Amino acid sequence: MGKKFSGREALILAVIAAIALIAIGGYNAWRSFQSFDESVLTEKDSQLYSLVRSDDINIETSISSFEREAETYLARNSVNTALDKWRQTGEKASLQNALKDNTLKANPIYADLLVIRKEKVSMSATGKTDYTFLTGRGPTGLCVCRDGDGNFYLAYEQDATKNIRFDALINLSTFYSTAINTNPDRQVMLLDSAGSVLLTTNDGVTLAMEADADAEGDLAETRDFIVQCQSENNSEGRMLELADGDGREYTARMVVLPSGSTVNGQFAIGMITNYEEALMPSRLVARQMLLYGGLAMLGVLALILMIMYMSRANRTSSEELRALRKKNEAMEEINQKMQALTHHQRLETIGTMTASIAHDFNNLLTPIMGYSIMTMEMLPPDATDLQENLLEVYNASVKAKDIVTRLAELTKKGSEASYKDIEIDEVIQSALKVTLPAKPKEVEVKAKFDAEGVLVKADRTQISQLVMNIVLNAYDAMRDDGGTLMVSTKQAGDEVIMRFKDTGCGMDAETVSRIFDPFYTTKESGKGTGLGLAIVAQIVETHGGRIYVESHPGEGTEFRIYIPTAGSGMDGLSWGSDPESRYDTKRYTAKVFRQELAKAEAARRELEASGEEDAKKQ
């Protein structure tokens, strides 16, 4: 036998285990902090690159829109006519007017429209000709130029004729302000593909400068990094030590997307943000998690100690409870066996009675069926109404004969050999028509069939019998005061739901618990056998369905029957709780339900007795 630990030894082991867990948790927390900055950095870079790609799309959109407007205007006949006139005769007025009156002026990034002849500016919309081109035409068809005042432009070139072209200029400072999403928490730098011009902001002011111009401090460091990434065509991120407007140093994160990796293809894009501000909240949360995690560990340790103490005090009570539970389970098993025996005895009684009367019923039904057929044959051809009425009598007799057979088989499982695919709506409508002669005058029947065309694999006679039994019971419940019977069908997944709701006298809980017991009836002697609903439950069971009932005195009764559709299979009756129903049939003996009622009544009496004792003490 293994060694048994005393309570003291177990307590010491629990404390040692708790300390070990705390040590392991602290070590792993320390290691997590080491990798925390790297994970935050990866997430921050991902966010920055998402913002960079957003700016990239804006840049591409602005440039493409400007190019389309320039192409559209320069393709006009008036522009080409003025150009030909100038080229052939030297007359400039027409072309100069065409340049001044161009439609590009409505675009906010437009700066000027030039005519270049033999690589020299011959004329412009603004009259300026002191433009110097810093780069040649790039892969995007654009180049960079500068005027005499030091302003930088992006030129969209379009060839006109030999040695003559148009250049539509974009003001780079204005372009930067409109295309870049400005945000005080980050700074964006643009470097053209040739590495000649740099665009950025300084204290909220757009700054355009040559990339190789002298620069100091933060501007020089960030400029050198974006130039390096552009020259190496490499997307990269780097930590930089920068200073804010007040001279306070901080750690910044800069990511760069070279022009070869951008959508616009003209500019490399760099973005700078304060890394410390992004990291601080996450680090604070991590520290708090470590602190609160430690407190939670101490709480768990205290809980373990308390549980160990309570377990010793409750060990004896637990053993007694287990013994009582075993006794209760044994008694429950005996009770279930007694219920099953009683059920089988009732079914045997039903079989004996139905076998003795089946022959007499058949003798009564045979002449009804025969005379119905003979009378129909004697009727003239135009007596269609009488023929239909006699046909209903004949069909009802056939169904009655099948019902007698069905009574004899009440204790057996229904054979699926006689099951066929039937349309449930048509069967219910036919059964309702058969019951109409028994309907009291003060009773109204309302029907809503929403399962048209839905088939179920069933015995047509049994389903008809089921409908007639429920409907006739509803008629009896409303015979004195009248009312309404509502019949409806609908498909829900692999099942068809049949609902029968009347506004009759209703039933109390005790009656509901027994309505599916064979021979149980609340009707006067001679007006009911108590077999109707027992047969209904048996039919539902043999068809693999479910049946629920809800009833209250004075409020009527509702039956809900679920039958599987054809092809969904019948796995047997599944009696379970229905969220819409107050009462569950619990098979048609309903013993379990009555047992629960008895328990509830005993609990109620116990509470009342306890309340009386408390009142006496007070």
- Which residue did the predictor score with more confidence, 51 or 21? 51
Per-residue pLDDT averaged across 461-472, rounded? 88
Q: Is the pLDDT of residue 265 over 70?
A: yes
pLDDT of residue 585: 39
Residue 59 burial (10 A CB sphere; 0-12, 13-18, 19+): buried
Q: In this structure, what DSSP letter does residue 214 have?
A: -
Q: Is the pLDDT of residue 90 over 80?
A: yes
Q: Which residues of 601-617 are buried (b: 16+ CB within 10 A; e: fewer)?
A: eeeeeeeeeeeeeeeee
Neighbours of 181 (CB within 10 A): 10
Residue 375 in contact with residue 414, Cβ under 8 Å? Answer: no
Give the separation between CA 553 and CA 363, rounded to whole angstroms. 41
Q: In angstroms, what is the C-alpha Rg of the chain?
A: 47
Q: Is the pLDDT of residue 452 over 70?
A: yes
Residue 136 in contact with residue 119, Cβ under 8 Å? Answer: no
Q: Which CATH architecture has domain 413-600?
A: 2-Layer Sandwich (3.30)
- Which residue did the predictor score with more confidence, 222 or 316? 222
For residue 349, name the pLDDT band (cuts at 50, 70, 90).
low
Rounded to the nearest 5 degrees, what angle is found at the Cα of 561, between the Cα atoms of 444 and 332? 130
The pair of three-digit structure tokens given for residue 559, joined into one six-digit string? 């039956």
pLDDT of residue 590: 41
Neighbours of 487 (CB within 10 A): 22
Residue 126 in contact with residue 149, Cβ under 8 Å? Answer: no
Q: Is the pLDDT of residue 234 over 60?
A: yes
- Which residue did the predictor score with more confidence, 568 or 382? 382
Lowest mean pLDDT among 214-223, 434-443, 491-500, 606-615: 606-615
Domain boundaries, the chain: 43-286, 413-600
Give the separation between CA 166 and CA 188, rounded to whole angstroms. 31
The pair of three-digit structure tokens given for residue 3, joined into one six-digit string? 């060694």
Tell me how far CA of residue 573 lies from CA of 328, 456, 585, in angstroms: 28, 16, 12
Neighbours of 188 (CB within 10 A): 20
pLDDT of residue 247: 74
Q: Is the pLDDT of residue 597 over 60?
A: no
Is residue 19 classed as helix, strand or coil in its secondary structure?
A: helix
Q: What is the DSSP string of 284-339?
A: HHHHHHHHHHHHHHHHHHHHHHHHHHHHHHHHHHHHHHHHHHHHHHHHHHHHHHHH
Q: Is the pLDDT of residue 115 over 90?
A: yes
Per-residue pLDDT averaged across 60-78, rounded? 90
pLDDT of residue 578: 41
Q: How many CA atoms lie within 13 A of 97 on its CB side?
A: 8
Nearest to 212 by CA among 227, 193, 232: 227
Per-residue pLDDT averaged across 193-214, rounded? 84
User: pLDDT tens, 470-490?
Assistant: 999 899 888 888 899 999 999
Q: Is the pLDDT of residue 529 over 60?
A: no
> Across-strand partners of 257?
269
Tell me how far CA of residue 516 lies from CA of 407, 512, 533, 540, 589, in angstroms: 15, 8, 5, 12, 6
